[in-house]
Structure 1
């Protein structure tokens, strides 16, 4: 067992310290240039449009989600314990400057997640009356590589639907037990019943759960963080200065006591940023694939909002709580602070809320973990449909397996299970990165098609034609005006 654990550690080092850092950032930079820095021009118009759509409550076609529901399900998975504990670990190990590089990775990640979203829309399929899609589908149908698609699907099922569920349930049980003194058994029972109720309702209930819980969950944490910053407003400017100074000269923070190098600062910042918003990982495209939109590009713009929420807002909230409250101590070495990273943010909230601070953070952590379980399960189920061709009996068996993993997760030491989750998440990201890069020409063509549609005043993508079998497409060439959803489907 010890040898197996060392092997997992070795593979994770190769994946996360080298392959994925360069691969994810590299594809993000490449897509940013290819898409002409769309981060600057598309996010806020998309945010405005989404608010209008929420107010109008447009009807959604059966078997699909509304754009907001798809975004909520994606954010449910993106926002987890990593946005609190993981971010604290990043600035503990990499210094305050890690926050700067976290934002850099999120900026480039927006272009990546746009690409994943539009590709999942273009290559999605309909099975048993429900739309489904994701990297496995655009790898199979776009790259024409069924083996690579199957590799992605299997690793995704293991990492998100089984191992990932275990570590998230462990976080909930541990947090509630320590903060409120509730027995782990009781917490497990409530969690299992809640998750089972949501999952048994299928896509519709998962979407409804996500769109109701996510805004409350995120708003609660952001408001609490803002309150801590306001209580320590005198430390805000010094905290911002230390972030920018530490990004390029970490030894200048605390007189070199931290013992952190620029390479470590960049590595921990980039890694945490990528992990927090999952851009390029291949997870969130599963929810964006089922969104009911008139054009794939529109859901791509919406997907970018998820990165804005998860990293630019929530992760930065965690950073500022730690930096302004004084829970981040520059007098300690990075090694010492990393050991105490789990309680660092808790101490930050305790400075303003007293004993309630620990309870507040526990509530936030519990909701973050709960929504992540639901989101990750939905993504894994999309791949179960891919591997087993969407058989109802198989899906019910997988639900039972995921709930079993949830229960087991509350009873074990999650340290090694987290390592396994990291390994499988890293493995599933590799084929997705390849696909995003190889299909980048199609992504750019879809964006150009959307712009042509806007100019002509008719934003439309011929999904009905897209869903036809390839031989039917050949015999039924659509007669549509140039630019109206025809660029990529001729």
Structure 2
């Protein structure tokens, strides 16, 4: 008799089959070619724009929006997810994570630029995301509502428990803290922040995200430097395993691609449709600006943080690899389940007594800020739905359900929760990638407009009517023009009026 867990596993395999893997890689490649690899050409602009701009009465700053996006991207997937990818797909999975990150940066640009183009000002705050641009750009309201419901369930109910479980498990191993105590503290902290609104979420993530990422990279750098002589061999192992020419892991090439793409998308969320929610909240003068900032966030997540985790595991040899028939191909962490335990062992091998504590603290910051990002995404989709429907009390219900999901996830096993969360991510990716393929034209028109204005030496300002973009109501409204004028005037710059 098939159990619930087996049904969930079957559904996960169906959602994350070869078609979605090809779609993620193919769309990323297509967008990269069409943009003439904007993720490379505009690398300097990405860094500059990340630190440019300020918040206003309705929106947050580009850096705050980046921090909120990274809060969702840099999470358990950067630690436990990388370890799982190696354990199932071998070292070659890391190469495919790099590929999906490089190509996915172009997908991140497109979806976040679309989020900005079709954003709205609701209850005094900027709101946007796939549901908004599907309705306004494609005119398919049922499809937009379907995405909103899927995102609300995935981010409000399924995914928070995974992050909470990682926090509870790591704190128990490091400090012997009862998971029930962890659940209570997490719920109180979470309630204090999410009841404070988007600005409080932005302020918390603006502080936590750089702190946690830099701290993690610093420790990873120490581990890598102490094993630097093995780095060339590790890079060769990754590349040879990725293409099936390495003796031990050669038979895992299919799994390497599958798990590299799956964990890559789960970690950096390129094309998944989550990032446009936060990027739409930024106060910028041109949508392409925030699109480029969000493209850079893919590099931070995968090429920096995920790579740091992978190098720590592979350099120290503290990982296991198991084939599809459960044959142990490599055993460097006996009796340790794939996940954060690998990373703890890796750090412990060079800094005894420090690994468990550090990973527990890192996971707390990584996972807690991810839960905050999940809440904001789910809340934004509720805001979208109640534009058309009377849904009183739904936002309060979301807050309560998310806190209950955190409690449940902290004190229970996360095996089924991981699968359910993976299904939610996969469904969001399916719906969003198809949408941005159909709606790519406005995003690339905005990119060309941004580049043309930059070439004349002015700070770009967006006028959608001049590009033939319809339903970009915010940018065409009187309030939008006033916001732009005030923003430009505050910086002492002339207002650009003609292309």
Shift of 1:340: 3.2
- 1:385 and 1:391 in contact (8 A); partners too: no
Shift of 1:334: 4.1
Seen in structure 2, the aligned counterparts of structure 1 residues 466 and 267 have a Cα distance that, compared at 3 Å, is closer
Q: Distance in 1 between matches of 2:498 and 2:245?
A: 51
Q: Which residue of 1 aligns with 2:493?
A: none
Match of 1:129 among 120, 124, 129: 124
Q: Distance in 2 between matches of 1:323 and 1:174?
A: 23
Q: Distance in 2 between matches of 1:133 and 1:193?
A: 28
- What pairs with 1:113-152 in structure 2 (closer than 5 Å)? 113-152=108-147
Match of 1:387 among 385, 388, 392: 385
Shift of 1:471: 11
Seen in structure 2, the aligned counterparts of structure 1 residues 397 and 93 have a Cα distance that, compared at 3 Å, is closer
Structure in which a larger fraction of residues adopt helix: 1
Shift of 1:128: 0.8
Q: Which residue of 2 aligns with 1:207?
A: 202
What is the alpha-carbon root mean square deviation over aligned residues?
Answer: 2.6
Q: Which residue of 2 aligns with 1:476?
A: none
Moved more, 302-311 or 261-270: 261-270
Q: Which residue of 2 aligns with 1:279?
A: 270
Moved more, 27-36 or 8-17: 8-17
Seen in structure 2, the aligned counterparts of structure 1 residues 485 and 18 have a Cα distance that, compared at 3 Å, is farther
Q: Which residue of 1 aligns with 2:490?
A: none
- What pairs with 1:223-262 in structure 2 (closer than 5 Å)? 223-252=218-247, 256=248, 258=249, 260-262=251-253
The TM-score, its normalising length taken from structure 2, stands at 0.88
Seen in structure 2, the aligned counterparts of structure 1 residues 337 and 235 have a Cα distance that, compared at 3 Å, is closer
Q: Deviations over 1:41-76 (max 9, x none)?
A: 11232113434x3xxxx5421121100000000000
- 1:295 and 1:450 in contact (8 A); partners too: yes
Confirm or deny that 1:433 pairs with 2:428. Answer: no
Q: Deviations over 1:187-245 (max 9, x none)?
A: 11211111111111101101101110000000111101010111112211211121122
Q: Distance in 1 between matches of 2:320 and 2:420?
A: 31
Q: Which residue of 2 aligns with 1:30?
A: 30
Confirm or deny that 1:265 pairs with 2:262. Answer: no
Q: Which residue of 2 aligns with 1:416?
A: 416
Moved more, 312-321 or 186-195: 186-195
- 1:122 and 1:296 in contact (8 A); partners too: yes
Q: Distance in 1 between matches of 2:365 and 2:154?
A: 20
Q: Which residue of 2 aligns with 1:481?
A: none
Q: Distance in 2 between matches of 1:350 and 1:340?
A: 16
The TM-score, its normalising length taken from structure 1, stands at 0.90
Q: Which residue of 2 aligns with 1:295?
A: 286
Moved more, 73-82 or 163-172: 163-172
Q: Which residue of 1 aligns with 2:156?
A: 161
Shift of 1:102: 1.0
Gaps of 5+ in 2: 466-470, 479-495
Seen in structure 2, the aligned counterparts of structure 1 residues 367 and 468 have a Cα distance that, compared at 3 Å, is closer
Confirm or deny that 1:321 pairs with 2:315. Answer: no
Moved more, 216-225 or 387-396: 387-396
Confirm or deny that 1:340 pairs with 2:349. Answer: no
Q: Which residue of 2 aligns with 1:175?
A: 170
Confirm or deny that 1:405 pairs with 2:400. Answer: no
Shift of 1:134: 0.2
Q: Deviations over 1:286-322 (max 9, x none)?
A: 0001111110001011001110111000000001101
Seen in structure 2, the aligned counterparts of structure 1 residues 270 and 322 have a Cα distance that, compared at 3 Å, is same
The count of residues paired between Structure 1 and Structure 2 equals: 469
Match of 2:187 among 192, 196, 217: 192
Confirm or deny that 1:467 pairs with 2:462. Answer: no
Q: Deviations over 1:94-146 (max 9, x none)?
A: 22222111101101000000000100001111111111000000011111011
Q: Distance in 2 between matches of 1:328 and 1:412?
A: 25
Moved more, 208-217 or 425-434: 425-434
- 1:155 and 1:425 in contact (8 A); partners too: no
Shift of 1:5: 3.1
- What pairs with 1:16-55 in structure 2 (closer than 5 Å)? 16-51=16-51, 53=52
- 1:69 and 1:211 in contact (8 A); partners too: yes
- 2:242 and 2:256 in contact (8 A); partners too: yes
Instruction: State the SS of the aligned residue for 1:131.
Output: strand
- 1:462 and 1:486 in contact (8 A); partners too: no
Q: Which residue of 2 aligns with 1:74?
A: 69
Q: Distance in 2 between matches of 1:185 and 1:7?
A: 29
